[in-house]
Amino acid sequence: MAKYFLESSALAKRYKQESGSNFVNSLFSGAHELFYLNLAIVEIRKVFYRLWKYPQILENDVQITDQEFRKLESRFAADIIQMQRIEFTEEMIGRVAAILERRWLRSVFDLAQLTAYLITKDEYPDLIFVCSDKSNLVETAKEMAGEEFVIIPENVI
């Protein structure tokens, strides 16, 4: 059973149809073990609220109805029950320096997710990082974990 750690921008593709969504949806087939950092819940819910109350001028950003919002919330709640929740810990705070000594990550949230992935990978060496972030998070993950352990959903055919 393949193991995947879904970074929040990749996980969001499950709920907002865009490039890479088909790959992310395929991970929820039950044939894989999926992991997420508990803080990703904040970012996913932010996406839901943005679509519901605060739509932006972004690719595929269309305002959703109250009913669609509730459906997204329900689907997300069902999905995270199937996934392994990784709690943000003091160990992660301690390991941040190892990443920052090699590369600068502007987003604290990216840093938290990458640190969580790397610590979880210590326990599951075959764990794959699924990331759609457009910043240098992907390159940092490749450098820290190895290119073969990073998947960008938009690049999967």
Domains in the chain, please, with CATH?
2-155 (3.40.50.1010)
pLDDT lower than 70: segments of the chain: 58-60, 157
Helix (H, G, I), strand (E, B) or coil at 2: strand
Cα Rg, the chain, nearest whole Å? 15
| pLDDT confidence of residue 9 | 94
- State the Cα–Cα distance between residues 125 and 153, nearest whole angstrom: 21
* Residue 103 near residue 143, CB atoms below 8 Å: yes
| pLDDT confidence of residue 45 | 96
Length of the chain (residues)? 157
| Alpha carbon distances (Å) from 157 to 11, 16, 32 | 18, 18, 18
| pLDDT confidence of residue 54 | 87
Angle at Cα 29 formed by Cα 84 and Cα 113, nearest 5°?
35
| pLDDT confidence of residue 157 | 67
Supply the pTM of this predicted model. Answer: 0.93
